[in-house]
Amino acid sequence: MDDDPYLWLEDVEGEAALEWVAERNAETEAALAAGSGFASLKERLREVLDASDRIPYAVRRGAFLYNFWRDAGHVRGVWRRTTTEQYRKDAPEWEVLLDIDALAAAEGEKWVWAGARVRHPAYDRALVCMSRDGGDAVVVREFDLATQAFVEGGFQVGEAKTRIGWIDADTVFIGTDFGPGSLTDAGYPRTVRRWRRGTPLEEAALVFEGETGDVATWGWRDTTPGYGRDFVGRSLDFFHSEVYVLDPDATLVRIDVPDDAITHVHRQHLLVTLKSDWLGQRAGSLLAFDFDAFLAGDRTAEVLFTPDERTALTGHSWTRHHLILETMRDVSTRIEVLTPTPVGGWAHKPLADVPALSTVTVIDTDPDISDEYFLDVSGFLQPSTLYHGQIGADTEILKQAPARFDTAGLAAEQFFATSQDGTRVPYFVIGPDRSLTGPGPALLYGYGGFEVSLTPYYEAVRGRAWLERGGTHVIANIRGGGEYGPDWHQAALGADRPRAFEDFAAVAEDLVARGITTPGMLGAAGGSNGGLLMGAMVTRYPQLFGAIVAQVPLLDMLRFHKLLAGASWIAEYGNPDNEADRPHLSALSPYHQLTADQIYPPVLLTTSTRDDRVHPGHARKAAARLRELGHPVLLHENTGGGHAGASDNEQSAHNNALMHTFLWRHLTRPVLPASG
């Protein structure tokens, strides 16, 4: 569509665009929120989100455990801390550091918490980040943890996609919007500067810069006692980067690994996660080197993990003396401890047994002082359990989340579908035994991009909104994700993106073949890159689905690189300005593939005016195009919320109630007999 009639909808806060959005929102509210049952569903979902007996996950900063918390009485939330002794109690006493609701009321801003960088190892100051109504851009203010107040005349940065971190008590590394030329095409910092307390931000000294075509640059001080080092780097694209040691004399020393590898330096160790073959080791392996020897040219590696066709590395975390390794086998988590030995090599030993079809997540460790760790274990029908332990000692259960929905008669199973090219694609099915009930409404969820893995997890909102009502929930582990390592991701890059679409369609067909559902009772949902997947289902496989929801979706693949952070995703999809890429992007682009002569399932598009990552114009323009062509479509655009689509529990409950009401209504309609 060379002459796009809906470009005016890309004007995020334009008067005409917002008026049009308000009309669409009114239609959606009338269609979905006015009916019987909506208010009670929303209330039940809000109850889950606000529940006071949720696990308050925390991270250690010195003597305290820090947590950010929202509930009915703290809509925007509070940043707080407690001691380990208190944390063990069912009702810990928390010291509130910053009340975001009170701050928002005092300043007349819809502040949303975006994290804090607490200065290590003193833990006396923090760089608090807050966004206006949920966007990625943040303001930064220095906070004194002793006085529990913002520092008058301290470090402050205006709204931007800032990257900032402590060097010492009076200096930070900063990348932010310094004016023309200081940002990349994707809108992230192009330069790294050293900013001293008491000096104007614009006088911060330049220490490193990237190119405008890069995604971003960054700087970081390793403050581990005895290992103080400065690092800077540039993300060439989403999957390739260069990392340097910044010597005191400003000399840059490249950490000479493949630019698609991920590096992690801890004390004397350099860990390298491979995304392509190197030094005789296959992509997906984890290698360990002596850091100083590596910089001197030694390439002697200890191989800590080697993948196979069914296993992949998912992460690693240091304690003081050990490395906790998280891996997956057929998308179920395994966890073990690796320990460097005095004579060389590493000892391996399991850390914890994990139930089948479950996920274990390392919540926090203490790499400076102890071998403490916090682990969370959950499954589709298994509420979270938080464990605490010291490696080599017994593990204790600190907290257990209560069940939030009725699981009677429900089971979780894993199946495999065969994609168009013969690839075996895993997927999870959570729901009732359909051999007893016959086919029923099912919701198929997928993502399939950026090496993101979809692992088992307890989702109370989906449980109440869908499973308790008799629906089946399905999660598809399609190519483009990271479930089987780098190869699984790279199989759906660029012009090969249709492999992800084919995998998702194969799962949909397999669900029908197994008698779990029918096309008319099968819905699909996905967000962001998963919204592109949903657009592909609408345009390529409409016959497989009874309704589709695309959340904060990416849909215009010929202009995505010109909208907000879109330029940063060129490595995933291709470059529309490149003649070699434009044909496949045109074919991938749901917005450009919509036609009048095709029958599409009903579509619900959701987005946020404050989404400064995936432009709301994607959803707006697709809704306008579908309306023009006479197809059933609803649009809901939250005025706040950023890329999450919601900035508080009220908005999240409302969005989820809209989505599940839409799906349930369309997927449970009786099938009318064919006319004779």
- The Cα 350–Cα 324 span in angstroms is 9
Q: Does the N-terminal peptide bond of residue 342 adopt cis geometry, omega within 30 degrees of 0?
A: no
CB-count exposure of residue 586 (10 Å: 0-12, 13-18, 19+): middle
- Give the span between the Cα atoms of 176 and 193, in whole angstroms: 9
Q: What is the DSSP string of 323-392?
A: EEEEEEETTEEEEEEEEE-TTSSEEEEE-----TTEEEEEEEE-TTT--EEEEEEEETTEEEEEEEEETT
Which residues, listed in sequence order, are joined to residue 68 by a DSSP beta bridge?
79
Comparing C-alpha atoms, which of 246, 479, 223 is closest to residue 368? 223
Q: CB–CB of 368/411 below 8 Å?
A: no
What is the C-alpha to C-alpha distance for residues 357 and 542, in angstroms, rounded to an integer?
31
SS3 of 104-173: HHHHCCCEEEEEEEECCCCCCEEEEEEEECCCCCEEEEEEECCCCEECCCCCEEEEECCEEEEEECCEEE
Instruction: Name the token pair of 317.
Output: 């975390």
The Cα–Cα gap between 381 and 357 comes to 10
Sign, CA dihedral 431-432-434-435, equals positive
3-state secondary structure at position 413: strand
Q: Residue 305's Cα: distance from chain center in Å?
A: 25
- Three-state DSSP at 316 gives strand
Q: Over the stretch 303-353, which tens digit does the pLDDT of each residue have?
A: 999 999 999 999 999 999 999 999 999 999 999 999 999 888 999 999 977
* Beta-bridge partner residues of 338: 323, 348
Q: Do the beta carbons of residue 419 and residue 425 sit within 8 Å?
A: yes
Ordered DSSP codes for 209-274: E--TTSSEEEEEEE--TT--EEEEEEESSSS-EEEEEE-TTS-EEE--S-TTSEEEEETTEEEEE-
Sign of CA dihedral 17, 20, 24, 29: positive
Look-up: residue for tokens 């012009």?
495
Q: 54-88 burial, b for 16+ CB within 10 Å, e for fewer?
A: bbbbbbbbbebbbbbbbeeebbbbbbbbbeeeebe
pLDDT at site 671: 55
Task: Calculate the average pLDDT of the chain.
Answer: 96
Residues of the chain whose pLDDT is less than 70? Answer: 1-2, 670-676
Exposure string for 31-44, b = 16+ CB within 10 A, e = fewer? ebeeeeebeebbeb
Handedness of CA 7, 553, 471, 463 (dihedral sign): negative
Residue 675: the pLDDT is 44
pLDDT of residue 383: 97
What residues contact residue 291 under an 8 Å CB cut-off, 6+ apart?
265, 268, 269, 270
Calpha distance 68→657 (Å, rounded): 25
Amino acid identity for residue 143 in this structure? F
Cβ atoms of 45 and 657 within 8 Å: the answer is yes
CB contact at 8 A, 429 and 474: yes
pLDDT of 468: 96
Q: How many residues would you count in the chain?
A: 676
Residue with tokens 């990257």: 163
Distance CA 255, CA 110 (A): 42
Residue type at 153 in one-letter notation: G
In terms of Cα–Cα distance, which of 104, 152, 99 is closest to 125? 152
Which residue in the block uniquely carries the two structure tokens 């005025």? 639
**Cα–Cα distance between 225 and 266 in angstroms, integer?**
11
Catalytic residues: 528, 643
| pLDDT at position 353 | 78
Which residue(s) pair with 428 in the sheet? 414, 475
> pTM for this structure?
0.96
- What does the pLDDT read at residue 352? 79
Q: Can you tell me the distance from the alpha carbon of 78 to that of 96, in angstroms, rounded to the nearest whole number? A: 7
Contact indicator for 600, 631 with CB cutoff of 8 Å: yes
Measured between alpha carbons, how far apart are the two ends of the chain, in Å?
A: 41
Report how far residue 341's alpha carbon sits from residue 304's, in angstroms, rounded to the nearest whole number: 13
